[in-house]
Amino acid sequence: MAAGDRVSRADAEQLARLHRAAMPYSVLGALGTATLRRYYRWVARSADERVFVSRDGDRVIGVAVLSFRPANVIRRFVMARPLSFATAALARFVQDSAFRRQVRAFLAESSSNDAGEAPELLQIFVAAEARGRHNGTALLRRVEEWLSMHGHTRYYVRTLADNNASTLAFYDRRGFAAAGERLFCGSRFAVLVKKVG
Ligand SMILES: CC(C)(COP(=O)(O)OP(=O)(O)OC[C@H]1O[C@@H](n2cnc3c(N)ncnc32)[C@H](O)[C@@H]1OP(=O)(O)O)[C@@H](O)C(=O)NCCC(=O)NCCS
């Protein structure tokens, strides 16, 4: 598989910060900036994920992360550095009752994945000050061009089903259709699908 955009240490630092600000509900984000830095370096090197970085000069202003094996991406990330992950998760588990609830919910949920092994957009976000200027649309366009060039006909995205009208509208206006619902760490997520090519 073709390599994705390069993610330097400095890029990963910026992505970690942007991730926490753009998605405060993110369970991965709750594990802290060090875990997020490792995550963005890991997906950039992974053979089963592809990273699209949006830049304004030297500054990272957004990212899209696509997975071709979404069903076990968390497990693969954890297994890459189990000790670092366990340390971060344990610290959070002890400090944060909301995180404890999310972990308990995750363990009780079914591990089935609606999207199976079809490509899934795991993350997409743009820095708050750069939103509304077509950066998100440009990231989706790059994702879709890449998917069609590589023979894929559809991809999925999951987004919070509740109190998330602007993001749901963003996907709706860009041709995504409802493909079900899924519980993740106790929150309801809408599963959306879009045809490409
Ligand atoms: C969703 C997101 C990536 C869109 O990026 P963007 O650069 O603002 O996208 P664009 O400028 O191409 O398009 C903006 C459109 O999204 C809508 N939008 C959705 N959320 C928005 C937000 N928080 N700020 C500005 N516009 C937003 C705008 O109304 C606009 O609508 P349009 O369809 O009529 O054009 C960005 O708003 C974001 O990072 N949101 C927070 C993180 C998030 O929710 N990610 C998705 C998780 S699945």
Q: E strands within 85-128? A: 120-126
Contact 51, 63 (CB under 8 A): yes
Task: Using alpha carbons, select from 169, 171, 140, 155 the residue that is nearest to residue 70.
Answer: 155
Task: Using alpha carbons, select from 146, 147, 139, 127 the residue that is nearest to residue 171.
Answer: 139
pLDDT, mean over the chain? 93
What separation in Å is there between the alpha carbon of 57 and the centre of ligand 1? 21
What separation in Å is there between the alpha carbon of 124 and the centre of ligand 1? 10
pLDDT at 110: 67
User: Ligand 1 within 6 A of 134 CB?
Assistant: yes
Beta bridge partners of 120: 67, 156
Per-residue pLDDT tens digits of the chain, which is 197 residues long: 556 899 999 999 999 999 999 999 899 999 999 999 999 999 999 999 999 999 999 999 999 999 999 999 999 999 999 999 999 999 999 999 999 999 999 888 866 544 457 999 999 999 999 999 999 999 999 999 999 999 999 999 999 999 999 999 999 999 999 999 999 999 999 999 999 98
Q: For residue range 85-123, list pLDDT tens digits in order.
A: 999 999 999 999 999 999 999 888 866 544 457 999 999
pTM over 0.85, yes/no: yes
pLDDT at 4: 81
User: Ligand 1 within 6 A of 136 CB?
Assistant: yes
Half-sphere exposure of 33 (CA within 13 A, CB side): 11
